[in-house]
Amino acid sequence: MRSPFSQGARVLAGSIILLCAGVGAQLDTLAKRAGKVYFGSAVDNPELGDLPYKTLLSNASEFGQLTAGNSLKWETVQPVRGTYKFAGGDEILALAKQNRQLFRGHTCVWHSQLAAWVEAGKFSAKDLTAIIEDHCGRLVGHYKGEMYSWDVVNEAFEDDGSYRKSVFYNTLGTQYFETALRAARKADPNTKLYLNDYNVEGINSKSDAYYTLIKSLIAKKVPIDGFGVQGHLIVGQVPTNIRENFQRFADLGIDVAITELDIRMVLPVTPEKLEQQKRDYAAVIRACKAVKRCVGVTVWDYTDKYSWIPSVFKGEGAALPWDENLKKKPAYDGIASAWLS
């Protein structure tokens, strides 16, 4: 039947319905309305000197959660054995508290950005165990009561699902997971403890390896609360089984979070690539939305101005929802509409 209303009137009515449903609301607000705990962003300390950047980051309706991009890593926190430096982390915590944003801790045990003395020391298993207990205990303990969650162990597997041959694995085998997780739990009984990695968005050898490890940790009553899926993805290549992957971890009784989302493209930027990126962001958000225990999504910084991508992947970039001038890209609307869908 032909509608009695003009097309213009129908478009207007549609827009009003969308507005009432929350289009125009900001990303953390929309994530919470979708039942999530947060939508957030990573930030690195030098960026806080950029006032327009900091002002947008401080909008808690947009970002309900912050992650320190670098300042809580081992090389920064304990560069010399026994010397602890929390100034960078403390600065981001103060900002998060002022803005009423959650704070995620990143990261306690990682082979990269590790203080040189840890590898150079050629420590025995007994000594390295004590070093992990001390480091995780002090780091997590320093932020006791302040952190929503911690990436206790980061990037522990290779892409083929074998254990990464880090100094931790080479000295301690798989025992170091338990050592780090127990030390973190002792230091802060209320923060959520995660294992975190990249290339584990879909079902593959690496996510299978995590599934097996987490199952065995749970069976041994080792404290583990969540699986962090970093989400460093490529435009047009987003895995199609993210939801199924998240659900199997949720079914183990733990939370899932997307901890470092960015979706990069080969430069230059074109309108077509931006549209594909919008669809890709929406697909990732829909997967999190669909899994009850997916608690939140963090972008690995929010603007292309401060993305790590161009320095590591030559000729690639434009991976984030805001461009270099802090202007929203189509990806922003992809995220917003996916939370609403």
Among 15, 55, 98, 112, binds ligand G3I (CB under 6 A): 112
CB of residue 70 to ligand G3I, shortest distance in Å: 5
Cβ-based nearer residue to ligand G3I, 147 or 336: 147
Q: Measuring CA to CA, which residue among 200, 194, 260, 242 is closest to residue 40?
A: 260
> Which entry of 260, 272, 316, 324 is annotated as an active-site residue?
260
Element holding 166 (H helix, E strand): none
Cβ-based nearer residue to ligand G3I, 29 or 196: 196
Among 302, 308, 332, 339, binds ligand G3I (CB under 6 A): 308
| Binding flag, residue 306, ligand G3I (CB under 6 A) | no
Q: Is the dihedral of CA 19, 22, 23, 25 positive or negative?
A: positive
Instruction: Give the footprint of ligand G3I on residues 224-253 (CB under 6 A).
Output: 230
| Binding flag, residue 87, ligand G3I (CB under 6 A) | no
CB of residue 113 to ligand G3I, shortest distance in Å: 5
Cβ-based nearer residue to ligand G3I, 34 or 139: 139
Among 26, 59, 70, 247, binds ligand G3I (CB under 6 A): 70
Rounded CA-CA distance 316/314 in Å is 6
CB of residue 64 to ligand G3I, shortest distance in Å: 20
Pairing state between β 255-266 and 294-299: parallel
Element holding 341 (H helix, E strand): none
CB of residue 154 to ligand G3I, shortest distance in Å: 6
Cβ-based nearer residue to ligand G3I, 43 or 336: 43
Cβ-based nearer residue to ligand G3I, 108 or 283: 108
Per the annotation, the verdict on 272 as an active-site residue is: no
Size of the site for ligand G3I (CB under 6 A): 9
b/e 72-85 (16+ beta carbons within 10 angstroms → b): bbbebbbeeeeeee
Q: How many alpha carbons lie under 13 Å from residue 253 in its C-beta half-sphere?
A: 9
* 147 CB-near residues (< 8 Å, 6+ apart): 103, 104, 105, 140, 188, 191
Alpha carbon of 247 to those of 20, 209, 244, 256: distances in Å?
31, 16, 5, 9
Query: Footprint of ligand G3I on this chain (CB under 6 A)?
Result: 44, 69-70, 112-113, 198, 230, 260, 308
User: Catalytic residues, which ones?
Assistant: 260
